[in-house]
Structure 1
Amino acid sequence: MSYLDIAVALENKSLTLLVGTGFSMYMTDDSAPSWVSLLVECSQRLEDDLKTFNELFVTDTQSGRIRGKFELTICAQILERELFRRGRRIREEIASIIAQRVNIGTINNDHLLFIRDFFSQNSSINVVTTNYDTLFSDYILPENNRIFAEGVPVGRDNSGLNIYHVHGSIVNPASIVLTMDDYFRFQYRDSYFSRKLYTLLQETTVVILGYSLGDFNLNQILNEAKNTKVKGRKKNDIYYITRDQIDHAIQSYYLDTYGIEVIQESDLTRFFYEISENLETARNVVEAQRNIKTAILNGEVVKDDLKSRQSFDNIINCLVNMGMHLTSDRSLSFLQMVFIHKWELTQERSAWEQYVHFANWLIDLASEVPLRNTSFKDEFLGHVYSSLRKMSRELYLGFSWQAFTAWDSRWSEMLLDNRELIIEHIDQEYFDRINCIGDIKTRHDQSMLL
């Protein structure tokens, strides 16, 4: 179902791909250099009998992998100084290495044709990349794109694929963000690129491709986005695509901290294939979202139109735009029907995402509407009970740990009286034993003392 949500964002022209080095390596059968291999090649170009290499890097005796003895931005800073002493510029060396490693001779033609076909049909995507290469603009969609990079002229045609090189591009080597000083300047400079990056992260659905979860660039961007997040009705959806299996604890940390949902065991070929396969369904969902006003006026909604997690936000926005108070009997009666249908979706086969949606929708409502004195109070508590009894802190068959993470991490977002309403009515002994929901109540009680 996550693929459907991404496809819906694509159909709504609200999809951003955050692209890292792994994408370039996929496109070139690993010819494209990683960040550490870029710096290693720079050190080898010093021709000092590996003196600088040995000072900055170490080779693991078992895996043969090279890693920096220091943070790589510091290694880059040192290499910049050493190259400058020899009358050379590190960013021009970087551009030269990438040009040699990423070109038409190194690109996997099958991957190129497959990816080019996808983007040709879906050019409304925003591509935000920390890569320096020009894969997208020169090879994937060369005839229909606009490049945004420091010091690079922007085309006037307001169409095609928007490619944001937030850390610079080899088109203008001086723009490359590489050293510790560069990162500090980028982070604290109020530039077009930094503003655009965080706007896209907050206002669109974001899919992270080609990064490891421990990647410096990725975590620097996520931390800054978290710190600059503006609270609003729009919920930012972030997905991380990996071909590996990710430990439950790591998934839980990224979901709790950044709101990132991990889609594991999915390589890039499968990712683009699954999005394409879901586009027809996504078009139906988007059409249904456009008809929400009619559904509200008629007092009826089709269950299958509620499969996307974005549906509830669209319904709330439509009710508000129609001038209907969210506490009115008419609004709450419609929302009751929505929640009943959404719960029915959780009972379908392989519908675990629906449990997470259901929990988040209840939290969204309780974050905006005081429910104690409404006609919807008892129904709301019934839905909360249904959600809580199907969640678990740990991985247990038949229970949703992601629904638990939603309640656990977003508890404080709900209105105070709604939190107290829930606490008054849950079976405390049952949930203490099954879900450790007592932790939530304890934090709630402690917050009342502050």
Structure 2
Amino acid sequence: MNYLDIAVSIESKSCTLLVGTGFSMYMTDGAAPSWIDLLTDCAIRLNDNLKTYNELFRDDGNGTMANKFELTICAQILELEFSRKGKNIREEIAEIITTRINRGTINNDHLILAHHFFSENFSINVVTTNYDTLFSDYILPDNNRIFAEGVPVGRDNSGLNIYHVHGSVLNPSSIVLTMDDYFRFQHKDNYFSRKLYTLLQESTVVILGYSLGDFNLNRILNEAKNTKQGGRKKNDIYYVTRGKVNQVQQSYYLNTYGINVIEETDLSRFFYEVSEKKEVAKKTVDAQRNLKTAILNGQISRDDLKSRQSFDNILSSLINMGIKLDAPRSFDFLRIVYSEKCELTRENHAWDQYVHYAHWLIDLAAEIPLRNTVFQDEFLQHVSYSFRKMSRELYIGYSWQSFAAWESRWTDMILDNRELIIALIEAEGFIPGINGVNDLKVKHDVTRNI
């Protein structure tokens, strides 16, 4: 699993949690309202004999309500109806939330677990589209800084940073609710939009409490993708869900946004698993801080290479030491690194290592031309091994996520390095229909000039 990478990002103070409604529902055993719950409650509060309610919502036949229009449009209509009655819909929403999320509705066992996790890891950045104050009032009330429009920021420069990017009940007028609100937020260059996309691009992101089809989540991911800056720094995105996610969906989100799915994991298990990796993560971060010594000595522990982030730190350390990435000294050390990483893929339950391995090969091929270097042949041997262990579809014993890495990041690599890899594909006998190398050849033909 990917818990070690998440634990390492927390230990290195580069982790952001993107928190949705499902988190509040977990903390309150379902008492917290979903977005459609908020809007249906608002429609009932209009006291117009359910006229607006029936125009906007319908029973889907399973005892739950469905919206007849996109929810931001429903909200726009409700805002107009409240205004006609001289009422403020955002104040109504703040009242609904505080009524349904309070000390009486919060699951105490979940609260203790969350409090312990965040008090141990308050360097995490919490970015939330939720309007409630669960984090600041209950989970970590004595050690936080709230960032929300119209809400004063505490002077203390420590504690859990909580970014209410869509507003907060602390200032109901800040709540982003309607189609107009979302349009303004998306096109307004303010502190919250800039901070949101900076965190998404420069830290490891863990998505909690959203469905993959969630409007808020997909809008944020699309905007982050459109505004993404170039450069070597890599961010990883993990999506945590209680249910199972089929391969088609996983492939789409991995290819489109680089999202790694951690399925069949509720929040209690997530907190436990990440906490279990804390000591190993500390050792990993310490090893990364001592990379200069490792490079000078020409040796590195295999355990220090288990994190996805290790390779980017290695490349940065080489550059910071004034060693060019295509210098013999770099290749001598990278030869050790790739060999040890390859060995990690041979361990039991090492599927995440196969994916790291593929990304590390792509990372190097994106940085320097490898043709006619002393490392060319060895690089291609590693590529061949990665290809033989990957699959286009889900096959037992093969890593389809490795294939997704090669396919989604194909054009990240220098063109001549891609040509080298295509020559390798044509020269070696990979398994037709399994490894997916023919798909890479097709992609290469289409993207040759990119």
Class of the TM-score when normalised by the shorter of the 2 chains: over 0.9
Match of 1:49 in 2: 49
2:240–2:265 CA contact under 8 A, matched in 1 = yes
1:19–1:129 CA contact under 8 A, matched in 2 = yes
Q: How many residue pairs end up in the alignment?
A: 449
> Are 2:295 and 1:271 equivalent residues in the alignment?
no
1:370–1:418 CA contact under 8 A, matched in 2 = yes
Q: Which secondary structure does the structure 2 equivalent of 1:78 belong to?
A: helix
Cα deviations by residue, 1:360-392 (Å, 9 ceiling, x for unpaired): 000000000100021000000000000000000
Match of 2:40 in 1: 40
C-alpha displacement of 1:105: 0.8
Query: C-alpha separation between the residues in 1 aligned to 2:162 and 2:211?
Result: 21
C-alpha displacement of 1:69: 0.4
Query: C-alpha separation between the residues in 2 aligned to 1:428 and 1:117?
Result: 53
Cα deviations by residue, 1:203-252 (Å, 9 ceiling, x for unpaired): 01010000000000000000000000001111110000001000011011
1:128–1:163 CA contact under 8 A, matched in 2 = yes
> Are 2:60 and 1:31 equivalent residues in the alignment?
no
Please list every run of 5 or more consecutive structure 1 residues that lacks an aligned counterpart in the other structure: none
Query: C-alpha separation between the residues in 1 aligned to 2:252 and 2:349?
Result: 24
> Are 2:16 and 1:16 equivalent residues in the alignment?
yes
Match of 1:7 in 2: 7
Query: C-alpha separation between the residues in 1 aligned to 2:197 and 2:304?
Result: 30
Query: C-alpha separation between the residues in 1 aligned to 2:22 and 2:399?
Result: 30
- 1:405 counterpart letter in structure 2: A
Match of 1:304 in 2: 303
Q: Which secondary structure does the structure 2 equivalent of 1:84 belong to?
A: helix
Query: C-alpha separation between the residues in 2 aligned to 1:324 and 1:441?
Result: 34
Match of 2:220 in 1: 221
Cα deviations by residue, 1:115-165 (Å, 9 ceiling, x for unpaired): 111111111110000000000001111111110000000111100000000
2:79–2:89 CA contact under 8 A, matched in 1 = yes
1:241–1:266 CA contact under 8 A, matched in 2 = yes
Would the alpha carbon gap of residues 43 and 164 (structure 1) be closer, same or farther in structure 2, given more than 3 Å must change?
Answer: same
C-alpha displacement of 1:428: 5.7
- 1:374 counterpart letter in structure 2: T
Cα deviations by residue, 1:240-280 (Å, 9 ceiling, x for unpaired): 00010000110110001000000000000000011110000
Q: Which secondary structure does the structure 1 equivalent of 2:277 belong to?
A: helix
> Are 2:125 and 1:126 equivalent residues in the alignment?
yes
Query: C-alpha separation between the residues in 2 aligned to 1:162 and 1:24?
Result: 17
Query: C-alpha separation between the residues in 1 aligned to 2:433 and 2:166?
Result: 49
- 2:36 counterpart letter in structure 1: V
Match of 2:259 in 1: 260
2:21–2:130 CA contact under 8 A, matched in 1 = yes
Compute the TM-score of the two structures, normalised by the length of structure 1.
0.98
C-alpha displacement of 1:448: 3.8
Cα deviations by residue, 1:275-328 (Å, 9 ceiling, x for unpaired): 110000000100111111000000111111100010000000000000001111
Match of 1:416 in 2: 415
2:403–2:436 CA contact under 8 A, matched in 1 = no
> Are 2:164 and 1:155 equivalent residues in the alignment?
no
- 1:408 counterpart letter in structure 2: E
Query: C-alpha separation between the residues in 1 aligned to 2:268 and 2:180?
Result: 36
Match of 1:69 in 2: 68
Match of 1:172 in 2: 171
Q: Which secondary structure does the structure 1 equivalent of 2:397 belong to?
A: coil
Query: C-alpha separation between the residues in 1 aligned to 2:377 and 2:445?
Result: 23
Query: C-alpha separation between the residues in 2 aligned to 1:122 and 1:292?
Result: 25
Cα RMSD after superposing both structures? 1.0
C-alpha displacement of 1:434: 2.8
1:146–1:160 CA contact under 8 A, matched in 2 = yes
Query: C-alpha separation between the residues in 2 aligned to 1:291 and 1:41?
Result: 56
C-alpha displacement of 1:445: 2.1
Would the alpha carbon gap of residues 333 and 108 (structure 1) be closer, same or farther in structure 2, given more than 3 Å must change?
Answer: same
2:241–2:263 CA contact under 8 A, matched in 1 = yes
Q: Which secondary structure does the structure 2 equivalent of 1:162 belong to?
A: strand
Aligned counterparts, 1:227-242, within 5 A: 227-242=226-241
Match of 1:346 in 2: 345
Q: Which secondary structure does the structure 2 equivalent of 1:147 belong to?
A: strand
Aligned counterparts, 1:298-377, within 5 A: 298-377=297-376
Match of 2:88 in 1: 89
- 1:283 counterpart letter in structure 2: K
Query: C-alpha separation between the residues in 2 aligned to 1:207 and 1:434?
Result: 31
1:431–1:438 CA contact under 8 A, matched in 2 = no
1:428–1:438 CA contact under 8 A, matched in 2 = no
Match of 2:385 in 1: 386
Cα deviations by residue, 1:80-115 (Å, 9 ceiling, x for unpaired): 000110010000000010010001111111111111
- 1:364 counterpart letter in structure 2: D
1:20–1:210 CA contact under 8 A, matched in 2 = yes
- 1:176 counterpart letter in structure 2: I
Query: C-alpha separation between the residues in 2 aligned to 1:429 and 1:335?
Result: 27
2:415–2:448 CA contact under 8 A, matched in 1 = no
C-alpha displacement of 1:449: 6.9
Query: C-alpha separation between the residues in 2 aligned to 1:329 and 1:107?
Result: 59
Query: C-alpha separation between the residues in 1 aligned to 2:166 and 2:446?
Result: 43
Cα deviations by residue, 1:25-84 (Å, 9 ceiling, x for unpaired): 0111111000000000000001111111110001111x2121110000000000000011
Query: C-alpha separation between the residues in 2 aligned to 1:307 and 1:117?
Result: 26
Cα deviations by residue, 1:332-357 (Å, 9 ceiling, x for unpaired): 01101100000000000000000000
- 1:56 counterpart letter in structure 2: L
- 2:292 counterpart letter in structure 1: K
Query: C-alpha separation between the residues in 2 aligned to 1:261 and 1:370?
Result: 29
Compute the TM-score of the two structures, normalised by the length of structure 2.
0.98
Query: C-alpha separation between the residues in 2 aligned to 1:190 and 1:282?
Result: 36
Query: C-alpha separation between the residues in 2 aligned to 1:109 and 1:449?
Result: 58
Match of 2:444 in 1: 444
C-alpha displacement of 1:443: 2.5
Please list every run of 5 or more consecutive structure 2 residues that lacks an aligned counterpart in the other structure: none
C-alpha displacement of 1:417: 0.5
Q: Which secondary structure does the structure 2 equivalent of 1:163 belong to?
A: strand
Query: C-alpha separation between the residues in 2 aligned to 1:292 and 1:431?
Result: 38
Query: C-alpha separation between the residues in 2 aligned to 1:352 and 1:449?
Result: 33
